[in-house]
Structure 1
Amino acid sequence: MPRSNRPRRPRGDRRVDDVEEPVGLDRLMSGWKRTELRRGREYAVQPVSAASAQKEYVCPGCGGAVLPGAAHVVVWRTDGVLGDAADLASRRHWHTHCWRTA
């Protein structure tokens, strides 16, 4: 009897064990806060998804608007001399491309 190449369950019927978890760089870029070292300073970088972007901000990299609905990153220093509260208060919203090229 020949082998059937058709799926045994209907399309869209996914089981819990069929869900794949992102690994490596995909997992890192899907909303996980990370720490980056730039020019001898340490920064916390938090990606913001397009669905979570609700307000308009000014990107310090290009001076353009980071529009609502646009995926971007929020960046703040983690090694400032004024403490964690001041570092968090000075966080800025960057276009992802602007932050990568800064």
Structure 2
Amino acid sequence: MAPVPRANRRRPESPPRAPLGRGVDRTVSGPDGDWVVRELRGTTSEKTYTCPGCRQDIPPGTPHLVVWPSRGTFSPGDGATERRHWHRACFGARGRRF
């Protein structure tokens, strides 16, 4: 007797993903203020950045965060001169470091 093929199952809806290399902006509040945080997968990183939390390099291709002060809007130029590249763990621990 031949095996019976399984019926196709619907996959659950997943949230839309950001285009490759681009993150989705979100606001994070903390004792040090409100920050716009963009998660980068690292696939488009071509430069080495220095994390302000640990002062270690973030090499090209490494997933990390781009963070800048929130001004209440999400315009691309908002805080562009104040953007900093952080390791995820370093940004999460920023209140305990200093």
Q: 1:101 aligns with which of 81, 93, 96?
A: 93
CA distance in 2, matches of 1:92, 1:40: 15
For residue 24 of structure 2, what is the aligned residue in structure 1? 32
For residue 63 of structure 2, what is the aligned residue in structure 1? 71
Report how far residue 22 of structure 1 moved: 3.7
Counterparts in 2 of 1:1-102, with a 5 A limit?
4=4, 6=5, 20-22=13-15, 31-39=23-31, 41-79=33-71, 87-102=79-94
Q: What is the TM-score when the length of structure 2 is the normalising length?
A: 0.68
Unaligned runs of 5+ in 1: 10-16
Larger radius of gyration: 1
Unaligned runs of 5+ in 2: none
Report how far residue 53 of structure 1 moved: 1.6
Identical columns (%): 30
CA distance in 2, matches of 1:43, 1:20: 29
Structure with greater proportional helix content: 1
User: How many residues are paired up?
Assistant: 87
Report how far residue 88 of structure 1 moved: 2.1
CA distance in 2, matches of 1:47, 1:101: 16
